């Protein structure tokens, strides 16, 4: 019988193989399938009681997870609190910098605003397009943000005038200034919460990653990017350099490391813990590296095809032969073939090493 780690990985990979590219559901020209399923967050400063243990954890640079009430949910919603060594204006500036999310936020391939307008009471509406890329699987969705500058609070839902790959989402950011260690308001406390509904056609591996990272990754990148921006801003006052342990993770850290860290903090017993969990993380990291390589090959082929099309258009030639969907499908099949072949070879190599080790050859 296969070990539990191998069964979990095979099940996850089969999810990708069966549904490699499920029909490009997102469409900015069509309305979403509903007008909202999740409860919206209120645009106000959070009122959250923190005990001494939570405060001490925040002071050490770690995030704190709490539950808040939500209508229709017995367990409520999760919210993450994180202290950041940067002024609230700097922190909020990172959160609102949607055009650069692909450079700051893990798994965000593209992001940018397509509409902005001012509302009553100084509120601002921002409509933003996101494209996530998770182990080569892409999700596109459209979000309507509401921002209240007076209290540095941002909420969001889907933009229901456009069709998204996500079934629904709602979320919340709030940044509160802090006076800490005699530094006049160069510390901030960040509050973050998000609610997701993911369609059934999304592979379970992708769903697991989204759910794992929904709360843990967001405050980490905000902390890292905000403190980095604040440290590089010239000022006359003295500032204590943020502790390296508290500076959070960046987008360059591997996805497997993020999952392992989250599991360790919550003392998760998924897949039995211990050596079995470490084996799962290592194999998962190898698969991610393989998927990234396959994705790079796919992107290079797409760019080559685009250059060829551009050259034909310049010569005034009409495209004939295979239709646009045919070439796209060929690329998809090639990408999945490379991914499946690479992963199979990886497992065969590991199996051979285990056989050699068990037989005592080479001792």
> Going by C-beta distance under 8 Å and a sequence separation of 6 or more, which residues neighbour residue 248?
61, 82, 219, 220, 221, 222, 223, 224, 227
CA angle, residues 88, 174, 120, in degrees to nearest 5? 100
Instruction: Provide mean pLDDT across the span 213-232.
Output: 90
pLDDT of residue 184: 55
For residue 338, pLDDT over 80 is answered with no
Predicted TM-score (pTM) of this structure: 0.62
- The CA-atom distances, in angstroms, between 83 and each of 174, 219, 223, 226, 245 are 12, 9, 8, 11, 13
Sign of CA dihedral 171, 79, 220, 229: positive
Q: Which residue has the higher pLDDT, 61 or 239?
A: 61
Give Cα 170 distance to the centre of its chain: 15
Share of the chain above pLDDT 70, in %: 59
For residue 286, pLDDT over 90 is answered with no
- The CA-atom distances, in angstroms, between 233 and each of 86, 270, 330 are 10, 43, 49
What confidence category does residue 273 fall into, taking pLDDT thresholds of 50, 70 and 90?
very low
pLDDT by residue (tens digit) across 111-145? 999 999 999 989 999 999 999 999 889 999 999 99
Residue 201, both tokens: 């056609």
Residue 319, both tokens: 């495209």
Run of H or E residues at 277: helix 274-314
- Contact between 302 and 99 under an 8 Å Cβ cutoff? The reply is no
Q: How much is the mean pLDDT over the chain?
A: 76
pLDDT by residue (tens digit) across 138-169? 999 999 999 999 999 999 999 999 999 999 99
Share of the chain above pLDDT 90, in %: 45
For residue 323, pLDDT over 70 is answered with no
Q: Which residue has the higher pLDDT, 19 or 94?
A: 94
For residue 327, pLDDT over 50 is answered with yes
For residue 106, pLDDT over 60 is answered with yes
- The CA-atom distances, in angstroms, between 111 and each of 16, 108, 207, 290, 306 are 24, 7, 20, 25, 22
Query: What is the DSSP track for 170-213?
Result: EEEEEEEEEEETTEEEEEEEEEEEEEEE--TTS-HHHHHHHHHH
What confidence category does residue 211 fall into, taking pLDDT thresholds of 50, 70 and 90?
confident
pLDDT of residue 20: 43
Instruction: Provide mean pLDDT across the span 330-334.
Output: 67
Letter string b/e over residues 319-343, b meaning 16 or more CB atoms within 10 A of that residue's CB? eeeeeeeebeeebeeebbebbbebb
pLDDT of residue 119: 96
pLDDT of residue 133: 94
Query: What is the DSSP track for 1-13?
Result: ---HHHHHHHHHH
Q: Cα(136)–Cα(290) distance, rounded to whole angstroms?
A: 10
Region of residue 24 (phi > 0: left; psi between -120 and 50: alpha; otherwise: beta): left
CATH class of 31-268: alpha beta
Among 276, 248, 278, smallest CA distance to 260 is for: 278
Instruction: Provide mean pLDDT across the span 36-57.
Output: 93
Q: Which residue has the higher pLDDT, 298 or 226?
A: 226
For residue 227, pLDDT over 80 is answered with yes
Q: Write down the domain spans for the chain.
A: 31-268, 295-359
Sign of CA dihedral 334, 339, 342, 344: negative
For residue 4, pLDDT over 50 is answered with no
pLDDT of residue 333: 64
Instruction: Provide mean pLDDT across the span 260-272.
Output: 43
pLDDT by residue (tens digit) across 60-73? 999 999 987 665 55
């Amino acid at each position: 019988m296969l070990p539990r780690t191998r069964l979990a990985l095979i099940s996850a990979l089969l999810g990708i193989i069966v549904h490699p590219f499920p029909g490009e559901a997102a469409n900015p020209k069509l309305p979403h399938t509903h007008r909202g399923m999740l409860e919206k967050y209120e645009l106000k400063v959070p009122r959250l009681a923190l005990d001494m243990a939570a405060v001490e954890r925040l002071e050490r640079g770690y995030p704190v997870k709490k539950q808040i009430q939500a209508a229709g949910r017995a367990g409520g919603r999760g919210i993450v609190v994180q202290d950041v060594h940067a002024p609230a204006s700097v922190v909020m500036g990172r959160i609102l910098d949607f055009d650069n999310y692909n450079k700051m936020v893990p798994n965000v391939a593209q992001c940018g605003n397509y509409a902005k307008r001012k509302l009553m009471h100084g509120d601002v509406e921002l409509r933003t397009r996101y494209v996530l890329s998770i182990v080569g699987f892409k999700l596109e969705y459209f979000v309507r943000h509401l921002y209240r500058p007076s209290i540095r609070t941002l909420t969001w839902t889907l933009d229901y005038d456009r069709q998204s790959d996500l079934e629904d989402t709602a979320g919340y950011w709030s940044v509160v200034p802090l006076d800490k260690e005699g530094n006049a308001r160069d510390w901030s406390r960040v509050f973050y919460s998000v609610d997701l509904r993911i369609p059934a056609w999304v592979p379970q591996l992708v769903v697991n990653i989204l759910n794992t990272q929904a709360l843990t990754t967001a405050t980490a990148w905000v902390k890292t990017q905000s403190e980095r921006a604040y440290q590089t801003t010239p000022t006359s006052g003295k500032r204590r350099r943020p502790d390296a342990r508290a500076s959070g993770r960046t987008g360059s850290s591997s996805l497997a490391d993020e999952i392992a860290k989250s599991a360790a903090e919550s003392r998760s017993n998924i897949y039995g813990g211990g050596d079995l969990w470490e084996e799962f993380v290592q194999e998962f990291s190898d698969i991610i590296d393989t998927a990234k390589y396959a994705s790079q090959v796919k992107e290079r082929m797409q760019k080559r095809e685009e250059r060829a099309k551009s050259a034909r258009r310049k010569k005034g030639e009409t495209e004939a032969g295979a239709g646009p969907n045919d070439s796209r499908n060929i690329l998809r099949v090639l990408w999945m073939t490379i991914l499946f072949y690479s992963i199979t070879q990886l497992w065969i190599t590991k199996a051979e090493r285990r056989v050699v080790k068990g037989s005592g050859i080479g001792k």
